[in-house]
């Protein structure tokens, strides 16, 4: 995967912050590279030459390539920081680009979802369910003797709206009762399920 310039910049920023935390934990004199002998120095320099740090500081090379290879060039302090601390997970540029791409895809999907109006449609569906529950509560309160004026005040609607809701609920309830009675008669064999003629 080819890294974008934005990925490289963000990766360098991540490494700067990661190294800051390394020095904060291990001390300002802690080093990333093992440079005690001439041979160690040559190995580190070879790795730096082979690593594409994209213009970053020398320590950026510690975040390039397989950790199993790179760790042989690093100090015990840096190895301990990478392997034992909960602060870092040593992300290479390829890994960073892959994660960044996944984030961009997710962000775009979220943006498309918001732009589609789907959140509003879902909210309207939820609101319709709430209104249905409200109307049922209004109807039940009315059946139990509470006045339209009192119900309207508590529900935050007008008296005329209360009466409309009650009439609609009464009509719906009556229709449900008639449908249930018709179904019972059909099941008993007294009527067909397609007309009201009595079976002789």
Question: Domain spans of the chain?
Answer: 5-112, 121-188
158: left (phi over 0), alpha (psi -120 to 50) or beta: beta
C-alpha to C-alpha distance for 15 and 22, rounded to whole angstroms: 10
Strand partners, 198: 191
* Sequence-distant (≥ 6) Cβ neighbours of residue 155 within 8 angstroms: 134, 138, 162
pTM exceeding the 0.85 threshold for the entire prediction: no
Strand partners, 172: none
pLDDT at 180 > cutoff 90: no
The more confident residue out of 116 and 196 is 116
C-alpha to C-alpha distance for 133 and 88, rounded to whole angstroms: 51
pLDDT in tens, 66-106: 999 999 999 999 999 999 887 778 999 999 999 999 999 99
Q: Give me the CATH topology for the region 121-188.
A: Arc Repressor Mutant, subunit A (1.10.10)
3-state SS string for 18-61:
HHHHHHHHHCCCCCCECCCCHHHHHHHHHHHHHCCCCCCCHHHH
C-alpha to C-alpha distance for 178 and 182, rounded to whole angstroms: 6
């Amino acid at each position: 995967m080819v890294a974008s310039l934005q990925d490289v910049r963000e990766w360098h920023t991540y490494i700067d912050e990661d190294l800051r935390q390394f020095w904060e934990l291990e001390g300002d004199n802690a080093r990333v590279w093992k440079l005690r002998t001439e041979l160690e120095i040559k190995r580190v320099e070879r790795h730096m030459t082979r690593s594409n740090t994209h213009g970053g500081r020398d320590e950026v090379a510690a975040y390039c390539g397989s950790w199993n290879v790179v760790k042989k060039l690093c100090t015990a302090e840096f190895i301990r920081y990478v392997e034992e601390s909960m602060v870092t997970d040593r992300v290479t540029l390829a890994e960073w680009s892959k994660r960044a791409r996944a984030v961009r895809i997710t962000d775009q999907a979220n943006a498309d979802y918001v732009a589609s109006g789907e959140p509003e449609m879902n909210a309207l569906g939820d609101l319709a369910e709430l209104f249905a529950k409200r109307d049922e509560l209004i109807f039940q309160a009315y059946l139990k003797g509470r006045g339209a004026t009192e119900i309207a005040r508590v529900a935050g609607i007008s008296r005329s709206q209360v009466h409309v809701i009650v009439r609609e609920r009464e009509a719906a309830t009556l229709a449900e009762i008639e449908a249930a009675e018709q179904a019972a008669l059909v099941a008993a064999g007294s009527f067909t399920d397609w007309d009201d003629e009595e079976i002789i």
